[in-house]
Chains A and B, each alone.
Chain A
Amino acid sequence: MILAGSLLPLTVAAPLAVGALLLASAHRVPPRLADVASISTATAVAVLCAYLAAQAGTSAPTQWFGDWRPLGGVSLGIVFTADTASASVACLVAFVVAASLVFAWGYFDEVHAHFHVMMLLFLAAMVGFSLTRDLFNMFVWFELMSVSAYALTAYKLGASSLEGALNFTVVNSVASIAMLAGVGLLYARAGQLDFAVLGQTLCRRGPDPVAAGGFCLIATALLTKAAVVPFQAWLPDAHGVAPSPVSVIFSAVMAPLGLFGLAKLEALVFADCSASMGVVRHLLLPLGCATAVMGGGMAWCQRHLKRLLGFSTVAHMGVGLIALGALDRGGLAGFLGYLTGHALVKGTLFMIAGVLLATRKSNDELVLRGRGRGLGLTGPLMALAGLFLAGLPWGVMHAGAAEVEATASQTMPFIGAASIMLGSGLTGAAVLRSAGRIFWGLGPEAGVEHEGPTEPEREKANRPLWLMLAPCCAMLLANLWPTGSSAFLSAWAASGLIRGAPHGLDAMSLVSGGASVALAVFAAGAGLYRHRSPRALVKAQDALGAMFRPLRDLHSGLVGDYLAWTAVGVAALAIAFLAGA
């Protein structure tokens, strides 16, 4: 246990040290060495975190930096604790980063090792964010994560990627400011920053507007990172324009980390404050439902593949938020299972979008019609991933979704389940529709009027197809890990972070999974064969399109609009929290 504790800082120090070395020797080392060094570092961090997660069964490995332990109820030091949930999230982060670095093999040759340095910095920040148990430290990792993400988004220096990165940077900087103000307010009340001590001090004081305001501001920041309505608009812009290997990490782990941070704060700091927990539940469930449905509908309306996947991530974050809203009823085990499965599936899909950008020089579904032929496994992989997104009753993602549904059905019997089904069904349908059109040439030929106004985009195709597909297969296989899903769920349930046993799979979850897959396949077919479908179906599609048109207008791409929505969101959260506190 002592060994595990002393290994803990390595999870963050190793990527930072290797990154610094790479930066110092960037002009001297051959480019392949940077690839090898960063992939092996990420893999080593993943293995280390897996070891820590396995060790955490009885008592979680803990490291007080500089041995500044709490003394007489006062905690000044900074602590890392690798409980099962945090360590497995960190392991997932490192695994996805390693897979995405393999996918990007040789992609960033010409810029020395700068891409790898930023990826390692990003990795260290995300791992630190998962493992820390100190509010200020959490803010520091959050900032580091944000800044490296901004730079990585703008990496291509194209007009679109710069504009997407500017939107991302401005909106998320406001979120960071909110987070810092929130940290300050909580400190003003408790005089502590350590999660455990902070929670005890705050809850002893009872309901308190300053603490409620602090939590509200921190929640704003984390919900912005997780792209929850009404803070979601930056995400499709940024994920759509970032280089594919970076989008993989953004959607698979960065956005979910926002929700994970919120889950940790709720479980460790505010668990015993019944007042704030009540507000959280009443607020997060409807927000989650709205996010899931909006993300699904918007994903369905897109033709740019990476933008479509970005909206699909919004929808799945909504489902995660529903799980979080139902926290004290065992929703967290399902939440983690769902986010893990989602990370593996969504990472695969962004890699496939990257394969298309590299080999077919476009990401436009209509332009690409039938041009995906000859890409071997790519098409079947995309279809399979689409089915998983829709809720195919198989694998880790479904095990998590079943838990989430079981939990949500106790709190919000009808609306919760319906939103989950609609959100995941529609995003699955959008992915299946694109896969059918691109890889099998289904649907009618697009007319000239469908030539999109999007700028030409392509990514470097300097690596063999099998090398790009290998990490995709690895991630999808990880999602299918047969005994993994249930073992994970019970392990998480046993860790200190999660209370309540998982419900386990039952017939109901198979039925709902099957129903949402059926919905997805039907909707994908209706989208592809619109010209041959019965009149009623066309009318229904038109009505849905009209319903989502105002929402499309809201995603204007203008940073001023996004900031206005952020202000509305902060105000709404503040009113809800202050009324509840």
Chain B
Amino acid sequence: MTYLPWALCAWLFAIGLYGMATSRDYLHLIGCLSVCQSSTYVLLLSIGFRTGASSPVFHDHPPGVPAVDPVMQALALTDIVVGAAVTALLLAMVIQVCKRRGTIDPQRLKPMQPLDP
């Protein structure tokens, strides 16, 4: 048992959140959101990992062969799909904001208030 994946996961989450909170460009912010999200992939895969086990596909090797945990892989896969959907939605909204406000700086955009100078 190594603590490296856990530390990496915490670091990715923290650095992603920091990047988002201080971002001056929505494209950068969306990138940071993806970094944040990749922390969960690391976490999930490290939870499901078994040393010396193969992938959980039993098509070409007999049952009983040790395999990594497929539940965690299913979780990670679901999250990737959702992450792609959210990223696409965010990018679409950013394009529309850019058309209407002429800026994509998160620190200038406030709902229901005029644009800061």
Bound CA span A136–B100, Å: 39
CB distance from A386 to the nearest CB of B (A): 23
Assuming A187-B71, A563-B20, A563-B21, is B86 touching A173 (CB within 8 A)?
yes
Q: Would you call B67 an interface residue if the criterion is a C-beta within 8 Å of the partner chain's C-beta atoms?
A: no
State which of B23, B43, B93, B112 has its C-beta within 8 Å of the C-beta of A165.
B93
CB distance from B96 to the nearest CB of A (A): 5
CB distance from B33 to the nearest CB of A (A): 6
Bound CA span A237–B111, Å: 7
State which of A140, A162, A559 has its C-beta within 8 Å of the C-beta of B29.
A559
Find chain A residues with CB under 8 A from B112 CB: 160, 164, 237, 240-241, 304, 307, 454-455, 557
Bound CA span A563–B21, Å: 6
Stretch at the interface among A177-185, A281-289, A420-428: A177-185
Bound CA span A567–B107, Å: 18
Tell whether, in the assembled complex, residue B17 and residue A453 are in contact, meaning their CB atoms are under 8 Å apart. Answer: no
Stretch at the interface among A150-158, A339-347, A484-492, A540-548: A150-158
Find chain B residues with CB under 8 A from A510 CB: none
Tell whether, in the assembled complex, residue B71 and residue A453 are in contact, meaning their CB atoms are under 8 Å apart. Answer: no
Q: Taking CB as reference atom, which chain B residue is nearest A158?
A: B100
Tell whether, in the assembled complex, residue A183 and residue B75 are in contact, meaning their CB atoms are under 8 Å apart. Answer: yes
Q: Would you call A147 an interface residue if the criterion is a C-beta within 8 Å of the partner chain's C-beta atoms?
A: yes
Tell whether, in the assembled complex, residue A184 and residue B21 are in contact, meaning their CB atoms are under 8 Å apart. Answer: no
Tell whether, in the assembled complex, residue B86 and residue A193 are in contact, meaning their CB atoms are under 8 Å apart. Answer: no
Tell whether, in the assembled complex, residue B85 and residue A180 are in contact, meaning their CB atoms are under 8 Å apart. Answer: no
Assuming A160-B111, A166-B26, is B94 touching A560 (CB within 8 A)?
no
> Please, how many residues of chain B have a CB less than 8 angstroms from a CB on the other chain?
42
Interface of B is mostly: helix
Tell whether, in the assembled complex, residue B111 and residue A240 are in contact, meaning their CB atoms are under 8 Å apart. Answer: yes
Tell whether, in the assembled complex, residue B110 and residue A567 are in contact, meaning their CB atoms are under 8 Å apart. Answer: no
CB distance from B5 to the nearest CB of A (A): 11
Find chain B residues with CB under 8 A from A556 CB: 110
Tell whether, in the assembled complex, residue A143 and residue B75 are in contact, meaning their CB atoms are under 8 Å apart. Answer: no
Find chain B residues with CB under 8 A from A237 CB: 111-112
Q: Taking CB as reference atom, which chain A residue is nearest B38?
A: A177
Tell whether, in the assembled complex, residue A241 and residue B111 are in contact, meaning their CB atoms are under 8 Å apart. Answer: yes
Tell whether, in the assembled complex, residue B40 and residue A151 are in contact, meaning their CB atoms are under 8 Å apart. Answer: no
Q: Would you call A564 an interface residue if the criterion is a C-beta within 8 Å of the partner chain's C-beta atoms?
A: yes
A 436-460 contacts with B by CB, 8 A: 453-455
Q: Taking CB as reference atom, which chain B residue is nearest A151?
A: B89
Tell whether, in the assembled complex, residue B107 and residue A453 are in contact, meaning their CB atoms are under 8 Å apart. Answer: no
Q: Would you call A538 an interface residue if the criterion is a C-beta within 8 Å of the partner chain's C-beta atoms?
A: no
State which of A176, A181, A559 has its C-beta within 8 Å of the C-beta of B106.
A559
Tell whether, in the assembled complex, residue B106 and residue A560 are in contact, meaning their CB atoms are under 8 Å apart. Answer: yes
Bound CA span A366–B110, Å: 22
State which of B13, B85, B111 has its C-beta within 8 Å of the C-beta of A164.
B111
Tell whether, in the assembled complex, residue A193 and residue B71 are in contact, meaning their CB atoms are under 8 Å apart. Answer: yes
Bound CA span A140–B106, Å: 29
State which of A150, A158, A560 has its C-beta within 8 Å of the C-beta of B22.
A560
Find chain B residues with CB under 8 A from A173 CB: 33, 37, 86
Bound CA span A559–B33, Å: 12
Bound CA span A136–B69, Å: 15
Q: Would you call B68 an interface residue if the criterion is a C-beta within 8 Å of the partner chain's C-beta atoms?
A: no
Tell whether, in the assembled complex, residue B111 and residue A181 are in contact, meaning their CB atoms are under 8 Å apart. Answer: no
Tell whether, in the assembled complex, residue A162 and residue B96 are in contact, meaning their CB atoms are under 8 Å apart. Answer: yes
Q: Would you call B72 an interface residue if the criterion is a C-beta within 8 Å of the partner chain's C-beta atoms?
A: yes
Tell whether, in the assembled complex, residue A177 and residue B22 are in contact, meaning their CB atoms are under 8 Å apart. Answer: no
Tell whether, in the assembled complex, residue A188 and residue B100 are in contact, meaning their CB atoms are under 8 Å apart. Answer: no
Bound CA span A174–B32, Å: 11
B 83-101 contacts with A by CB, 8 A: 85-86, 89-90, 93-94, 96-97, 100-101
Q: Would you call B52 an interface residue if the criterion is a C-beta within 8 Å of the partner chain's C-beta atoms?
A: no
Q: Which residues of A are in contact with B by a Cβ distance under 8 Å?
A: 76, 136, 139-140, 143, 147, 150-151, 154, 157-167, 169-170, 173-174, 176-177, 180-181, 183-185, 187-188, 193, 237, 240-241, 304, 307, 453-455, 556-561, 563-564, 566-567
Q: Supply 6 A–B pairs (Cβ within 8 Å), ascending by A.
A: A136-B71, A154-B89, A159-B101, A166-B90, A559-B106, A566-B17
